[in-house]
């Protein structure tokens, strides 16, 4: 069984769409890293995840991936605050009783927290995929428009079953 790590924001859940809309409404410049960091640190994640939905039926598709028996599936997510971890765990546990949830501080690469070698990461953020590949892992980009930006790409999570 291969280790498969699935990103949360922008892959499982549409939290990026919701928070980018909020950032626009607050007229925060997306290039202003300090302001963006502050925004995500102070964000009410419970509220965001109440209105959030999964992308392309991601939850049901992850259940299919687990059922295939081909992968040891974990959720691997960058976080900005302890409250963000709490809110994400609450959201994920509604659907998955036992799936491991690994939270990584935003300032640290996902590859610093676990061993990427020979493991698969599905992520929407190319920076994470580049780090993953450098560490000997296999990166798959999740993108609704199927733009892989140099990586194999999927827009429905259970497509991974056919890739391996």
Q: List interacting residues with Mg ion (CB under 5 A).
A: 7, 9-10, 124-125
Closer to Mg ion at the Cβ: 97 or 129? 129
β strands within 20-134, DSSP E = 71-79, 101-105, 120-123
Cα angle vertex 62, ends 16, 134, to 5°? 65
Q: How many residues does the chain have?
A: 164
Closer to Mg ion at the Cβ: 7 or 84? 7
Closer to Mg ion at the Cβ: 10 or 58? 10
Nearest of 125, 130, 80 to residue 105 by alpha carbon: 80
In angstroms, give the least distance from the CB of 125 to Mg ion.
5
Helix/strand/coil for 3: strand
In angstroms, give the least distance from the CB of 104 to Mg ion.
11
Rounded-to-integer distance, Cα 141 and Cα 125, Å: 7
Closer to Mg ion at the Cβ: 28 or 126? 126
In angstroms, give the least distance from the CB of 24 to Mg ion.
18
In angstroms, give the least distance from the CB of 130 to Mg ion.
14
Torsion of CA 61, 92, 126, 141, to 10 degrees: -10
Cβ proximity of 141 and 153 under 8 Å: yes
In angstroms, give the least distance from the CB of 111 to Mg ion.
15
Closer to Mg ion at the Cβ: 7 or 158? 7
User: Closest-CB residue for Mg ion?
Assistant: 10
């Amino acid at each position: 069984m291969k280790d498969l790590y699935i990103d949360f924001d922008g892959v499982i859940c549409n939290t990026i769409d919701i928070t980018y809309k909020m950032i626009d409404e607050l007229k925060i410049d997306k290039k202003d890293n300090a302001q963006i960091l502050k925004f995500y640190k102070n964000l009410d994640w419970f509220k965001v995840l109440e209105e959030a939905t999964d992308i392309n039926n991601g939850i049901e598709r992850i259940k299919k991936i687990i059922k295939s028996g081909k992968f040891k599936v974990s959720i691997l997510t960058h976080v900005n605050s302890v409250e963000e971890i709490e809110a994400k765990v609450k959201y994920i546990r509604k659907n998955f009783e036992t799936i491991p949830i690994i939270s990584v501080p935003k300032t640290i690469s996902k590859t610093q927290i676990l061993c990427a070698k020979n493991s698969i990461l599905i992520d929407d953020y190319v920076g994470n995929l580049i780090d993953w590949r450098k560490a000997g892992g296999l990166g798959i980009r999740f993108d609704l428009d199927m733009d892989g930006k140099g990586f194999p790409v999927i827009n429905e999570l259970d497509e991974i079953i056919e890739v391996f």
